Amino acid sequence: MRIDILTLFPEMFAPLKTSLIGKAVQNNALQINIIDIRDYTKDKHKKCDDYPFGGGVGMLMTPQPIYDAITSIEGYKDAYKVYLSPRGKTLTQSYVKQLSKNEHLILLCGHYEGIDQRIIDMLIDEELSIGDYVLTGGELPAMVVVDSVSRYIPGVLGSSESVEDESFSSGMLEYPQYTRPQNFMGYEVPEVLVSGNHQKVDEWRKEQSKAITLKNRPDLLKNNKT
Ligand code: 4FD
């Protein structure tokens, strides 16, 4: 998969060079290209924002630099073009999986109070939000999209990690897990997990999943099959 990210703050994407994502880029499983929108402004002072027509608070990103930045990406017409915005559809695990099937993603990060609507109308396929809160820019949401989508790309996760996350795919949250030592500062691992009785372990985990889901996310249980 190829992902182009358009931003006024390219330095914010430094973390993508490290960790699992960085490794995927090195192995050519993933191609990430950061584009500085300011490089495309035709304004002599490199200005990329202006006041909103009709008045109102704050500034908007002007259309020209964004238009030129997007249309100079090779294959931009066939790419799936996403604008990260608090008014977009909310990202879910199933939507992440759907996005991961695209060969080419273009992620547009807005700043200030957002961008000129004509860019959305002319070039954007979908406005996407990572949740109901407002951030100073679309960079962190874009990073969330890259990270979540990358997990579905072959060669990004090791064979010991499963793509189908326990949480969400089953419709319930994950049960508690423990590793060694069996006694940590007087706190014991639940007896059933060291009993060797796999059926009892499965039953215990299902109970725990149900209890934690009921406590933290009762909304998930309403339309559950188990
Ligand atoms: N919840 C999100 C995305 C972007 C953002 C921005 C209009 C502000 C939160 C368009 C206003 C973009 C999100 C930048 N904040 N801030 O996904």
Report whether residue 8 contacts ligand 1, using a CB cutoff of 6 Å.
no
Cα(125)–Cα(174) distance, integer angstroms: 34
Q: How far is the CA of 205 from the centre of ligand 1 (A)?
A: 38
Tens digits of per-residue pLDDT, 186-206?
999 999 999 999 999 999 999
List Cβ neighbours of 84 (8 Å cut-off, separation of 6 or more). 107, 108, 109, 110, 127, 128, 129, 130, 138, 141, 142, 145
Cα(40)–Cα(79) distance, integer angstroms: 20
Tens digits of per-residue pLDDT, 43-62?
999 999 999 999 999 999 99
Which residue type is seen at 92?
T
Q: Is 188 left (phi over 0), alpha (psi -120 to 50) or beta?
A: beta
How many angstroms separate the first and last alpha carbons of the chain?
35
What the block records as the tokens of 187 is 């706190």
How far lies 114's CA from each of 18, 110, 171, in Å? 29, 5, 34
Report whether residue 22 contacts ligand 1, using a CB cutoff of 6 Å.
no
Q: Which atom, in ligand 1's list, is nearest to the CA of 144?
A: 17
Tens digits of per-residue pLDDT, 124-160?
999 999 999 999 999 999 999 999 999 999 988 877 7
Task: Tokens 């249309």: give the residue.
Answer: 71
Question: Closest Cα to residue 32, out of 105, 83, 111, 84?
Answer: 105
Residue 166, pLDDT score: 54
Residue 84, pLDDT score: 98
Residue 169, pLDDT score: 66
Domains in the chain, CATH or no CATH each: 2-150 (3.40.1280.10), 165-223 (1.10.1270.20)
Give the SS3 label for residue 178. Answer: coil
What the block records as the tokens of 200 is 């009892």
Task: Tokens 């200030």: give the residue.
Answer: 112
* Global pTM value: 0.94
Q: How far is the CA of 187 from the centre of ligand 1 (A)?
A: 43
Q: How far is the CA of 110 from the centre of ligand 1 (A)?
A: 7
